[in-house]
């Protein structure tokens, strides 16, 4: 199975919105798996200080600073050779924290019943930002219970960003 076919079976949040994010997922995930850590989420964005490539890692018992440094060193070499970003960027590798990003479809199943925030590429009923309780995944659709117990169906491929929400 090619990486592209695998990405269609196991889509990643943000990969449809940003080709750099999709490419980093493809390059970083095998490395993370071989090092015994889970690649939770990838972000690539611009801040006033420049462009940031941020990766979140986790593992049972929590990720350590040494885990992050090991992946960062190895991934830096891989990305230097394979990633065409049209300019400089700063890479950050860290643990997901309390507001854990939800990056894979399995995350939406795992955290069913949890409060989350989701941002979409295109508006759904005039909105792109949703806060509610994760009701699970049906096929390629994430179900979110929002205010007034209304359920919103969001196509997984349309999610730009999602994370656990701590009130």
- Residue 41 class from Cβ within 10 Å (0-12 exposed, 13-18 middle, 19+ buried)? buried
Query: Which strand (E) or helix (H) includes residue 123?
Result: strand 115-124
What does each C-alpha distance from 63 to 15, 50, 103 come to in angstroms? 24, 27, 17
Quick: pLDDT tens for 69-119.
999 999 999 998 888 777 889 999 999 988 999 988 889 999 999 999 999
Range of the structural domain that residue 41 is part of: 3-94
Q: 49 and 77, same structural domain?
A: yes
Q: Is residue 100 part of a domain?
A: no
- In whole angstroms, what separates CA 55 from the centre of its chain? 8
Q: Do 20 and 77 lie in a common domain? A: yes
Q: Is 75 helix (H, G, I), strand (E, B) or coil?
A: helix
128 and 147 both lie in a single domain: yes
Can you state the percent helix, strand and coil of the chain, rounding each to 5? 30, 40, 30
CATH at 89: 3.30.300.70
How many domains is the chain partitioned into structurally? 2
Residue-wise pLDDT for 12-64, tens only, equals 766 666 788 888 999 999 999 999 999 998 988 889 989 999 999 999 999 99
Query: In this structure, are 80 and 15 located in the same domain?
Result: yes
pLDDT of residue 6: 39
Question: Among 35, 61, 94, where does a domain finish?
Answer: 94
- Is residue 71 domain-resident? yes
Q: Catalogue the long-range contacts made by 106-113 (C-beta closer than 8 Å, 24 or more residues apart).
A: 106/10, 107/40, 108/134, 108/136, 108/137, 108/142, 108/156, 108/162, 109/136, 109/137, 111/164, 112/136
40, 70: one domain: yes
162: which strand partners? 118
Do residues 116 and 164 touch, judged by C-beta distance below 8 A? Answer: yes
User: Is the domain of 155 the same as that of 122?
Assistant: yes
Residue 75 has a CB neighbour count (10 Å cut-off) of 22
Strands 90-94 and 50-58: parallel
């Amino acid at each position: 199975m090619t990486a592209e076919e695998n990405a269609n079976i196991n889509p990643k949040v943000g990969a449809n919105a940003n080709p750099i994010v999709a490419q980093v997922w493809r390059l970083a995930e095998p490395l993370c798996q071989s090092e015994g850590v889970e690649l939770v989420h990838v972000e690539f964005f611009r801040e006033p200080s420049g462009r940031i490539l941020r990766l979140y890692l986790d593992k049972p018992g929590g990720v350590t600073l040494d885990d992050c440094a090991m992946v960062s060193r190895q991934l830096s070499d891989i990305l230097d050779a394979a990633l065409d970003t049209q300019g400089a960027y700063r890479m950050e590798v860290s643990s997901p924290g309390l507001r854990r990003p939800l990056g894979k479809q399995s995350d939406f199943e795992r955290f069913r019943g949890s409060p989350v925030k989701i941002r979409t590429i295109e508006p759904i009923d005039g909105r792109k930002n949703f806060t509610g309780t994760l009701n699970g995944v049906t096929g390629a659709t994430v179900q979110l219970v929002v205010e007034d117990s209304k359920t919103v169906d969001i196509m997984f491929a349309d999610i730009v960003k999602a994370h656990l929400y701590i009130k």
